[in-house]
Amino acid sequence: MGKAKTLLTSALVCAASLTSAADEFEITVFNGYAEYENCALMKINIDQTTNQGELSKLMYTDANPFKLVVPEQISMSINGQVTITPKKISDLFFRTATNTLEQKYQQGASYVIEADLGNSIEEIGDYCFYQFKNLKNIVLPPNLKRIGNSAFEFCTSLTSVVFPEGLESVGDNAFYKCNSIEEFVFPNSLTTYGVLSFAGCANLKRIYLPETVTSINNSFNSCKSLTDVFISATTPPTLINETEDAASFPPNVKFTIHVPEGAYNTYYEKWYGLRYMDNATIVADIKSGVNSIRANGLTAKVVGDALLVESTAEGIDVFSISGVLVATTTECSLNASLPKGIYIVRSANSSKKVVL
């Protein structure tokens, strides 16, 4: 196995001249604020058949806050010029500090406060950001398919996560005890989330479950601040066989379950009398159609408390997550000051979900 060190430039492209083919080497990742300051060392394993890479093992030796910026492509000379595309980011955290090197890895976890995972990563591995207790902000890749077991467990400073459309699965304990997050909005592509995936999030107030959800296990147990659960599925998901130790929703917490219009009786008949459901109020106030997510020709961004929308077509409508029209224009652009929340922006045949 060969190994070489190389330097990542501000353009996120690096070059390394190796005397022989290598399947592992190290790159230096800048902090995203100032080049050549507060760098971290990261390993990349290369699949030379597909020219795809797996990033792992963050080592950081300085004592200043750090923004981790994952490269989208890495160019190098390995028996000729080769461009490597990272597809997975694996466990960055050594959990047993038995020597100086492993202690440096743990130091890296302590100082990472932001992470931008670029556009090429499709999988975040098991325990990847486990116990990154100072991580406040993270930008997930648009092509992300899987979040592994305990990937963000005990990230107690993480304030929000925007899941990309296309995400298929979230592992066991993935966001366990992420106590600073107040809401989770799941894309329609999500088909699987594991045991205790979002449990123990002490300040979690709102959950938005897509049409594709068919069962709810104990992923949201111990979310003691929960106030609202939005479920877009017209068929009520199956709840677990609840016991003292496992509940689909947190015991002894009063909250409202929002379901599609016309689905009240179906939910009531299936869920009435189940353990802990006596604390829940079911309201059928979700209008059909407002949760579709398409964005062709439509861009939306948040600046302060304002939502800025540009469209290639005339006419823009903004709906609350429950389907109430909150802003509209006949023009191709819209600037609206709105309360924090989840909104659906529509223009012509395009729509986009926005977190404000």
63 burial type by CB count under 10 A (0-12 exposed, 13-18 middle, 19+ buried)? exposed
Q: Quick check: 67 and 114 in contact, CB under 8 A?
A: yes
> Mean of the pLDDT values across residues 198-202?
91
The residue ranking higher by pLDDT, 133 or 287, is 133
> Would you state the pLDDT for residue 248?
82
Average pLDDT over residues 93-106: 57
**Residue 103 — φ and ψ, nearest 5°?**
-65, -35
CA distance 319 to 296: 18
Pairing of strands 298-303, 255-260: unpaired
pLDDT, tens only, 209-241: 888 888 888 888 889 999 999 898 899 998 876
- Would the pLDDT of 25 be above 80? no
Mean pLDDT of 137-161: 91
Q: Per the confidence metrics, is the pTM higher than 0.75?
A: no
| The pLDDT value given to residue 78 | 55
Average pLDDT over residues 270-296: 68
Q: What is the mean predicted confidence (pLDDT) over 51-57?
A: 80
Joined together, the tokens standing for residue 41 give 């060392």
pLDDT at residue 37 in the model: 47
